[in-house]
Amino acid sequence: MTDLLNELGAEHDQKQFGILDEYSKREIRRAILTAVAVPGYQVPFGSREMPVARGWGSGGLQLTLAVISPSDVIKVIDQGDDQGVNAVNLRRLIVQSTKVHETTTASEASIVQSRHRIPEDGLDEQHILILQVPVPEPLRGVERDMRELARMHAEADYSKMWVSLYEDKVRNGVITQTTGYPCLVNDRYVIATTPIPRWDIPRLDQSPFLTLFGAGREKRIYAVPPYTPVTPLTFEDVPFEVEYTPGANCSQCGSSKSFLVEIPGPASRWVCSDTDWCERNSGKAQ
Amino acid sequence: MKLVTAPEWVLKVENLGKVFGNLSKHGIENTGPEAGTSKDSVTGAIVAAWDVSFEVAAGEALGVVGESGSGKSTVMRCIAGDQAATAGSVKIRTAPDEQLDIFNLSAAERRQLRVNKIAVVYQDPAEGLEMNVTAGGNIASPLTAAGWRNFSAIRGRASELLSRTEVPLNRMDDAVKSFSGGMRQRVQLAKAIANRPPIVLFDEPTTGLDASVAAGVLDLIRGLLEEYGLAAVVVSHDFSVIEMLTTRCIVMNHGRVVESALTDQLLEDPHHPYSQKLVSAARA
């Protein structure tokens, strides 16, 4: 009896790892397991209050803190940038509370938490990519009734999504939706690929790494497991295209094969969105 | 009572009943035309429809006539699957070896029926159409639900349907909310026949349109019934609509069928006192 109490006491005295308590971690991990088992299905979970405001990556942060272990190496990016304000703060929070190693090189990391981008290269089977999702519901724009949304997902009734693509094409001549482009996962569920741009979608298809989507404010977790088909919804005769600006290349490394963002100004210029990749790429060129 | 039958039926409604609330023991006997009410005096349940049976063949239109509250729209909503019936069955047979009992289907299967087997044209176009979506987009909705994935094929089919229902093609890419009432109803018709469903239900299709526009829409509906060989159920309180579209009809009062007859016969020589009242009111 005393042994048991001592044991329990010892367990209780053990310092918790990270800022999430073990019950929260267990709940989030269970949601993750469900999400991996049913690719693309949005699993509700009890989103915790985090030291960051909802809408600032609290969903991604909870996922990271639930799956992280002392041997992990973390990379956090914001818009592809390791030094973005959001990335710096989240990384500091994760590293200080867990004492794991940090890196900016995707291939050296084991967990990559990202807002807006998938790193240009370096992700493989050992990686977990965690995305901070603002709006997890792909059909939110076409249907507001939650029960109706649940029904549409349950019956795989996505005709309203197709109508919205039709409308986009008719009104604008081209499909204008960029971030959050709707994709069919494993031929079953349509997901919002928000926050990543269209550019990154082909890399989700049959990807070797596990992708977890966490929406803290909307309390949803969904996943694209490794080697799962991800097909952007597109008409047969309207090919899916990624963002591309003719003639643009990075003013730092000269690349025209990476996702570029425009820096506005009197002399506007283009730079790679993935800063770490850009640095390595310009090193190679020199 | 004489059962309204068609030898090669596509749609068969048998003893359909819909009760809102809990019936008392003698609730059915104590409601209906004889009782003069559809409300169960013990429990307050409403017997909206009871013991409604009819059959409709391909290329034939059946009218359901009655005043407001007589249960005709309830019957239509039960057939369309918008509402669950309390009793009876609705069967459809759109191919020789097929026979589906609608109430035995799951919700998803019933929805699938609405895509390519049963279409509904509502009185209010806002119920059948998305007002903020273009006319073409509204027609794309049933087409994509049926698996169309080719943009130009969808556009082609939509413009074909819109020209068939006489909607000017230069309005195809305008939101339906900018359309007049008559044109909205024409878009709704185009949407209804998009997947060539064998069965179309019309719920007061011209009520709310002014007389000249209504005449045009009626003309169009009659043309579509013939051209597509539709099995149609037309719910209306308006005898001119019933006269123009249907060959047979049933008269409903307090949730029961009080008379079923050929349309011209009913208009010339109504038997049931309630039918007589209805016809004389319409002729006055």
| CATH code: domain of residue A190 | 3.40.50.11310
Residue in B137, B151, B173 closest to A237 by CB: B151
pLDDT, one tens digit per residue, over B29-49 is: 889 888 889 999 899 999 999
Is there a domain that residue B78 lies in? yes
Residue in A157, A160, A238 closest to B151 by CB: A238
| Same domain? B212 vs B96 | yes
Final residue of a domain: which of B196, B216, B244?
B196
The range of the structural domain enclosing residue A116 comes to: 11-137+183-232
To the nearest whole angstrom, how far is the Cα of A240 from the nearest Cα of chain B?
Answer: 13
Whether the per-residue pLDDT at B284 is higher than 80: the answer is no
| Same domain? A280 vs A188 | no
CA-CA-CA-CA torsion sign (B57, B58, B64, B69)? positive
| Same domain? B104 vs B64 | yes
Is there a domain that residue B172 lies in? yes
B78 CA to centre of own chain? 10
| Same domain? B183 vs B206 | no
| B96: confidence class by pLDDT, cuts 50, 70, 90 | confident
Is there a domain that residue B41 lies in? yes
Q: Are strands A128-132 and A210-215 parallel, antiparallel or unpaired?
A: parallel
Residues in A lying within 8 Å of B, measured between beta carbons: 151, 154-155, 157, 159-160, 162-163, 166-167, 169-171, 235-238
Using alpha carbons, select from B155, B130, B191 the residue that is nearest to residue A173: B155
Average pLDDT over residues B154-161: 96
| Same domain? A116 vs A207 | yes
Residue with tokens 């990476």: A258
CA-CA-CA-CA torsion sign (B147, B149, B150, B154)? positive
pLDDT, one tens digit per residue, over A84-136 is: 999 999 999 999 999 999 999 999 999 999 988 999 988 999 999 999 999 99
Whether the per-residue pLDDT at A13 is higher than 60: the answer is no
Using alpha carbons, select from B98, B113, B120 the residue that is nearest to residue B193: B120
Using alpha carbons, select from A50, A74, A75, A220 the residue that is nearest to residue A140: A220
Is there a domain that residue B32 lies in? yes
Whether the per-residue pLDDT at B215 is higher than 50: the answer is yes
| Same domain? B42 vs B169 | no
Is there a domain that residue B124 lies in? no
The range of the structural domain enclosing residue B276 comes to: 9-117+201-283
| A28: confidence class by pLDDT, cuts 50, 70, 90 | very high
Residue in A159, A169, A238 closest to B144 by CB: A159
Dist. CA A193–CA A191, nearest whole Å: 6
CA-CA-CA-CA torsion sign (B245, B248, B253, B255)? negative
| Same domain? A68 vs A129 | yes
To the nearest whole angstrom, how far is the Cα of B114 from the nearest Cα of chain A?
Answer: 12
| Same domain? A123 vs A191 | yes
| Same domain? A204 vs A256 | no
| Same domain? B90 vs B217 | yes
To the nearest whole angstrom, how far is the Cα of A31 from the nearest Cα of chain B?
Answer: 27
| Interface contact flag, A163 B130, Cβ < 8 Å | yes
B140 to chain A, any CB pair closer than 8 A? The answer is: yes
Which pLDDT belongs to residue A2?
A: 61
Dist. CA A235–CA A177, nearest whole Å: 14
| Interface contact flag, A235 B145, Cβ < 8 Å | no
| Interface contact flag, B136 A235, Cβ < 8 Å | no
Contact criterion met (CB below 8 Å) for B279 and B266 = yes
Which pLDDT belongs to residue B159?
A: 96
| A12: confidence class by pLDDT, cuts 50, 70, 90 | low
B81 to chain A, any CB pair closer than 8 A? The answer is: no
| Same domain? B15 vs B86 | yes
| B1: confidence class by pLDDT, cuts 50, 70, 90 | very low
A157-178 b/e with 16+ CB inside 10 Å = b? bbbbbbbbbbbebbeeeebebe
| Same domain? B102 vs B138 | no
Using alpha carbons, select from A40, A43, A39 the residue that is nearest to residue A28: A43
What B121-124 contacts at long range (C-beta under 8 Å, 24+ apart), as own/partner pairs, is B121/B185, B121/B188, B121/B189, B121/B192, B121/B200, B121/B201, B121/B202, B121/B203, B121/B205, B122/B188, B122/B203, B123/B203, B123/B204, B123/B205, B123/B207, B123/B208, B124/B208
Contact criterion met (CB below 8 Å) for A40 and A233 = no
Is there a domain that residue B249 lies in? yes
- Looking at beta carbons, which residues of chain B come within 8 Å of A237? 150-153
Average pLDDT value over all residues in chain A: 90
| Same domain? A98 vs A188 | yes
| Same domain? A132 vs A262 | no
Whether the per-residue pLDDT at B3 is higher than 70: the answer is no
| Same domain? A61 vs A188 | yes
Whether the per-residue pLDDT at A246 is higher than 50: the answer is yes
Which pLDDT belongs to residue B161?
A: 95
Contact criterion met (CB below 8 Å) for A250 and A272 = yes
pTM of this structure: 0.87
| A179: confidence class by pLDDT, cuts 50, 70, 90 | confident
* Total count of domains within chain B: 2
Whether the per-residue pLDDT at B75 is higher than 80: the answer is yes
| Same domain? B111 vs B30 | yes
